[in-house]
Amino acid sequence: MKAVRIHQFGGPEVLTYEDVPDPQPRKDEVLVRVRACSLNHLDVWVRKGLPGVKLPHILGSDVAGEIVDVGEYVAAFQTGAFKTGQRVLLAPMHFCGHCAKCLAGLQNECREFTVLGNAVDGGNCELIAVPAANVVPIPDSLDFNQAASVPLVFVTAWHMLVTRAAIRPGQTVLVLGASSGVGIAAIQIAKLFQCRVITTAGDETKLEKARALGADFGINHYQQKISDEVRKITSKAGVDIVVEHVGAATWDESVKSLKSSGTLVTCGATTGPEVKIDLRHLFARQLSLLGSYMGTMADLHEVLGHVFAGRLKPVLDRTFPLKDLRAAHEYLEKSRMFGKVVVNP
Ligand SMILES: [Zn+2]
């Protein structure tokens, strides 16, 4: 098959479109023909070099496609639930499936947990073999590009807001980075809970698109000070929840934007991982600072239910052919997009 692999870590130039052997699925796996694979910032981190990545390596976490073949054990136990030609998306997680954490439904705490395309080969290729548990049929209402735009960012935002921060109707939520995949998902999930949403972006066009998704207030983070604007919007109260993934560049403003006993939940550090925290603010204002990593299979199935029913919508920015993955990475790193960048084999 054709795939884009990296043989060394580095810039977009290390992405190489080439022939590789077809994957040989195990008896408990399903073989899927990749029709669309969306990019995430994780692709850039892996390309630049992360521990645990074995070379050569295939990137790509978010896959939608069609079933080509179903392993003998899958066919035996699923009693025909999976058929050749069925349209599916793939859960972007890799886990052992039999440890105490996995059996408790806490797959993202499994010692073997990793993201598809991180420590295991991903979907920037024509064929991929994954365990049956990762395969989710999709409705006709979603095309492959839309379906590939869903899994990683929606499961991440759901786990952050619902499972970790325990969002409640009527709260005020600050979502950093409206144009990012996690931002787009978090805005919509917070609105699903009838919350008031404040979001940030770098230009008016992006803020307008965020308002179209339901955001009630937009802050231009290049021209306005986030915490000052939050104080104005909330009549000095601050917000109940901050959805963070930007990191060093926004951390101080995010913490300042919280109300007393507010919760900051973070899943990333795009602008850098080192931040300061004033312990006096943490204890006197009784703040909660929560980490969040991807999500569980239960989170994924729950959020997909809302996506499949049309209550949450994937946002596609543009597509590239798989052979032009370098250009797609360059485009992603310029941060010009609003929504997901998808490659098609
Ligand atoms: Zn496990």
Distance 288 CA to ligand 1 centre (A): 28
Distance 182 CA to ligand 1 centre (A): 25
Beta carbons of 63 and 36 less than 8 angstroms apart: yes
The encoded tokens of residue 116 equal 């598809």
Output the tens digit of pLDDT for each of the chain's 345 residues. Answer: 999 999 999 999 999 999 999 999 999 999 999 999 999 999 999 999 999 999 999 999 999 999 999 998 887 766 557 889 999 999 999 999 999 999 999 999 999 999 999 999 999 999 999 999 999 999 999 999 999 999 999 999 999 999 999 999 999 999 999 999 999 999 999 999 999 999 999 999 999 999 999 999 999 999 999 999 999 999 999 999 999 999 999 999 999 999 999 999 999 998 999 999 999 999 999 999 999 999 999 999 999 999 999 999 999 999 999 999 999 999 999 988 999 999 999
Q: What angle do CA 258, 261, 264 make, to 5 degrees?
A: 50
The encoded tokens of residue 220 equal 């231009």
Distance 295 CA to ligand 1 centre (A): 13
Distance 12 CA to ligand 1 centre (A): 33
294-304 in b/e form (b: 16+ CB < 10 A) is bbbbebbebbb
Beta carbons of 167 and 140 less than 8 angstroms apart: no
Give the span between the Cα atoms of 84 and 307, in whole angstroms.
Answer: 24
Distance 75 CA to ligand 1 centre (A): 23
